[in-house]
Amino acid sequence: MNAYWDLVLLCVYAAIVAHQIFRRYETYSIAFHSVMLIGPPAIIGAVLWTLDCLPVEMPALGVISLLYGTYLGVLGVSIVAYRLGPWHPLASFPGPVAFRTSKLWMAGCAAAGRECFVVKALHEEYGDVVRTGPNELSIRDPSLVGRIMGAAGLQKGPNYLGMTLTHDGLPMVGIQDVDEHLRRRRSWNRGLNSAALKEYEPLLAGRVAELARLLPTLQEKVIQLDDQFAQISHKIMSDMAFGENSKIMEGDQKKFWAQLDSGVIFAAFFSHVPWLGFYAMLIPLVAGPLQAFLGRCREFAIKRMLQGSEKRDLFYYLNHEDQPNRPSPPIHQLVDDGVLAIVAGSDTTSTALTSFFYCLLTHSEVYAALLQEVDNCYQDGETTLNTARHGKLPYMDAVINESLRVFPPAPNGSLRQVPRNAGVHAGTIFIPPGTAVCCHLYSMHLDPGNFSYPEVFWPERWLLASGKIPSATLPRHAGCDSEKGLGSFAASALNHNEVAFMPFSYGPMNCVGKNLAMAEIRMVACTLLRQFDFRLQDGWDPAEYRRGFKDYGIATRPRLPVTISRRR
Ligand code: HEM
């Protein structure tokens, strides 16, 4: 009996020590995990066997089960008790038990495309600061955004490790070291500043003109507008990332983008549990598509490097071709950056364009007012394929902002992490060392404290707030009986907090492609609205769109079936 209890007690001690080691040296190393999970019971068993202290009445299999059952069981209980206990550094923050216990719950929500809705509901239940994981907080209070994401803010969070499933060679978006991130970002800043964007204008115009040329052939049919926007955004971003060589991609485009699409659910899931992702990468079925996709991108990057490009593209800057005395970065960095441009820049922009048109087509008065602004801005015969007049379209900007507010293409924003060596004070809260923090943009965009009638698509709120109009009438919306909405409002009667509006995130690590995305949306919108009339497919239920808006880190484009006819 003594030998039995000695063995159990030793396993309990070992499990508690192992938990402390795991806590201290949080790592995704499979070798480390294996040693920590398999090693201690094996050592205890071997030592007791050498000393002849194993329970004699038990068969060998029973002893092994007892060793591992006790060790792993106590380790699990110790982890859960610590996470739920009052001594955990985040114990004072409210949140549901399941989410405080394990990130697997949020990973499940993410894989189901529901993360942003779940987090918003948690904020509605628990308030502005919610514990969404054992070591993670979600924040809905805009006054904390500057401290967390501003110039002296926090480093990037660990989620990108799980999305890309690599320890080293992380693309720029996931680099946690602040200095290294800013160093890598310099080439992106040069490649996407206003001078560079001017250089890309012909490229952008060429692709938008191609879209406008193709659409008439689709007249009289029902077309999925989301598909059209997916194609143009994919083409623009591949042009930017791989220059002329993107034409090579057009041949097997479907396969290439299908490879990317098939990865989003995995990426959403593993972004919450990166450690599990590294195990999954040992399974060829999971690792295969990612490797194949990266392999194709590598081919494009190498071809682009060897051939150069006649026109300047983003690759020109990422490859330091604008700084002849500077050597090219290593090829893996160029591949990572090329993939990042495609992933970060294409689906986000096409989702934004699709939501923009969905909002227009479901709000006829907004459609009419925008059409009038665009028609007044451009003379007959004048081209919409440049950015010269974009600054003269305030209503266009209001409609774009409002559709990005209601349907943000990256609904959760981006995770940050407090350094492990010191916590930070943000407003009245103290965030302990190592905590991952998300300023949850979807929750902020739809918080009535930031935007009155947040669920209502109402572009006029932006014009009111900037003083461009003195008052505006709230449109009819769900829950409102009056045909004319709830009456006329002045700006002072409304909540409108633009700090809480951050579809492109915030601070020095925000979206570097914001201006490119806005230029693309404005150019496509002006060109298509000038040339075509759009109508939703007869009988299609617009509620389908909201149902289809899923969040896999980047939102999916729901279907948008329309018919078109030529205006001019
Ligand atoms: C409507 C379209 C877009 C939206 C809503 C969007 C949104 C975002 C968001 C929320 C982030 C996270 C920033 C952070 O970590 O704080 C981001 C990062 C990024 N985006 Fe965009 N994006 C869009 C279009 C583009 C385009 C066209 C490009 C072109 C290359 C681009 C390139 C990037 C890059 C490179 C990053 C990483 C920035 C960094 O870590 O420093 N995005 N984007």
* Residues 351, 210 share a domain: yes
* Residues 204, 69 share a domain: no
Structural domain includes residue 159: no
What residues contact residue 449 under an 8 Å CB cut-off, 6+ apart?
495, 497
Structural domain includes residue 291: yes
Structural domain includes residue 295: yes
Which of the pair, 221 or 216, is modelled with greater confidence?
221
Q: Which of the residue ranges 91-95, 200-204, 234-238, 562-566 has the most confident prediction, judged by mean pLDDT?
A: 91-95
* Residues 196, 52 share a domain: no
Write down which residue in 84, 105, 129 finishes a domain: 84
In single-letter form, the type of residue at position 446 comes to: L
CB-ligand 1 contact for 505 (6 Å cutoff): yes
Q: Angle at which helices 394-406 and 514-531 pack, to 10 degrees?
A: 110
Contact assessment for residue 150 and residue 507, using Cβ atoms and an 8 Å cutoff? yes
pLDDT of residue 313: 87
Q: According to the annotation, is 53 in a ligand binding site?
A: no
* Residues 319, 196 share a domain: yes
Q: What is the mean pLDDT of residues 369-380?
A: 95
Q: What is the mean pLDDT of residues 438-464?
A: 97
Q: What is the mean pLDDT of residues 204-225?
A: 88
pLDDT tens, position by position, 110-155: 999 999 999 999 999 999 999 999 999 999 999 999 999 999 999 9
At residue 496, the 3 state secondary structure works out as strand
CB-ligand 1 contact for 233 (6 Å cutoff): no
User: Which residues sit opposite 496 in a β-bridge?
Assistant: 451
Structure-derived torsion over alpha carbons of residues 225, 226, 228, 234, reported in degrees to the nearest 10: 160
Residue 496 has pLDDT above 70, yes or no: yes
Beta 155-156 vs 551-552: how paired, if at all?
unpaired
Question: Which atom, in ligand 1's list, is nearest to the CA of 337?
Answer: 35
Structural domain span for residue 70: 1-84
pLDDT of residue 484: 64
At residue 133, the 3 state secondary structure works out as strand
Dist. CA 241–CA 121, nearest whole Å: 38
Structural domain includes residue 7: yes
Which of the pair, 186 or 381, is modelled with greater confidence?
186
At residue 408, the 3 state secondary structure works out as coil
Indicate the average pLDDT of the chain: 90
Structural domain includes residue 332: yes
CB-ligand 1 contact for 516 (6 Å cutoff): yes
Which of the pair, 135 or 311, is modelled with greater confidence?
135
DSSP string, 114-126: BHHHHHHHHHHHH
- pLDDT tier at 483, thresholds 50, 70, 90: low
Q: How far is CA 434 from CA 17, 21, 371, in A?
A: 20, 15, 50
Instruction: Output the CA 152–ligand 1 centroid distance in Å.
Output: 20
pLDDT of residue 304: 79
What residues contact residue 381 under an 8 Å CB cut-off, 6+ apart?
none
* Residues 213, 316 share a domain: yes
Question: Tokens 């992702």 identify what position?
Answer: 277
Structure ipTM: 0.99
- Output the pTM of the full model: 0.93
Which of the pair, 400 or 282, is modelled with greater confidence?
400
* Residues 185, 315 share a domain: yes
* Residues 382, 272 share a domain: yes
pLDDT tens, position by position, 400-428: 999 999 999 999 999 999 999 999 999 99
pLDDT of residue 251: 57
- pLDDT tier at 392, thresholds 50, 70, 90: very high
What tokens were used for 466? 């900037």
Q: Taking Cα atoms as reference points, which of 336, 391, 405 lies closest to residue 526?
A: 391
Residue 426, H or E segment? strand 424-426
Residue 351 has pLDDT above 70, yes or no: yes
Dist. CA 126–CA 123, nearest whole Å: 5
pLDDT of residue 395: 98
Q: What is the mean pLDDT of residues 520-543?
A: 96
Dist. CA 184–CA 161, nearest whole Å: 17
Residue nearest ligand 1's atom 19 by CA: 511
Quick one: what percent of the chain has pLDDT higher than 70? 95
Dist. CA 72–CA 11, nearest whole Å: 9
Instruction: Output the CA 514–ligand 1 centroid distance in Å.
Output: 7
Structural domain includes residue 502: no
Residue nearest ligand 1's atom 41 by CA: 509
User: Which residues sit opposite 437 in a β-bridge?
Assistant: 137, 416
Quick one: what percent of the chain has pLDDT higher than 90? 67
**Other C-beta atoms lying within 10 Å of the C-beta of residue 151:** 7
pLDDT of residue 168: 63
Residue nearest ligand 1's atom 3 by CA: 348
Residue 563 has pLDDT above 80, yes or no: yes
pLDDT of residue 247: 59
Structural domain includes residue 127: no
Write down which residue in 84, 103, 131 finishes a domain: 84
Number of H helices, E strands in the chain: 23, 14
Dist. CA 117–CA 472, nearest whole Å: 30
Residue nearest ligand 1's atom 14 by CA: 510
Question: Which atom, in ligand 1's list, is nearest to the CA of 241?
Answer: 30
Structure-derived torsion over alpha carbons of residues 441, 446, 449, 454, reported in degrees to the nearest 10: 150
* Residues 393, 278 share a domain: yes
pLDDT of residue 167: 62
Q: Taking Cα atoms as reference points, which of 306, 307, 304, 311 lies closest to residue 342?
A: 304
Instruction: Output the CA 504–ligand 1 centroid distance in Å.
Output: 6
Number of domains, the chain:
2
pLDDT tens, position by position, 226-278: 999 998 998 898 888 877 555 555 556 666 677 677 778 888 999 999 888 88
End-to-end CA distance of the chain: give it in Å, rounded: 93
Write down which residue in 26, 49, 84 finishes a domain: 84
* Residues 218, 349 share a domain: yes
Burial of 299 (0-12, 13-18, 19+ CB in 10 A): middle
Contact assessment for residue 524 and residue 232, using Cβ atoms and an 8 Å cutoff? yes
* Residues 384, 243 share a domain: yes
Dist. CA 403–CA 230, nearest whole Å: 17
Contact assessment for residue 210 and residue 533, using Cβ atoms and an 8 Å cutoff? no
pLDDT of residue 424: 96
What tokens were used for 286? 């999971």
Residue 467 has pLDDT above 60, yes or no: yes
- pLDDT tier at 90, thresholds 50, 70, 90: very high
**CATH assignment of the domain containing 183:** 1.10.630.10
Question: Tokens 């001078």 identify what position?
Answer: 195
Residue 300 has pLDDT above 90, yes or no: no
CB-ligand 1 contact for 441 (6 Å cutoff): no
CB-ligand 1 contact for 188 (6 Å cutoff): yes
Q: What is the mean pLDDT of residues 212-231?
A: 87
Residue nearest ligand 1's atom 40 by CA: 173
Q: Angle at which helices 331-361 and 364-377 pack, to 10 degrees?
A: 110
User: Which residues sit opposite 156 in a β-bridge?
Assistant: 416
Burial of 235 (0-12, 13-18, 19+ CB in 10 A): buried
Contact assessment for residue 240 and residue 301, using Cβ atoms and an 8 Å cutoff? no
pLDDT of residue 339: 83
pLDDT of residue 25: 82
* Residues 352, 215 share a domain: yes
Structure-derived torsion over alpha carbons of residues 31, 34, 37, 41, reported in degrees to the nearest 10: -110
- pLDDT tier at 299, thresholds 50, 70, 90: confident
What tokens were used for 501? 């509006």
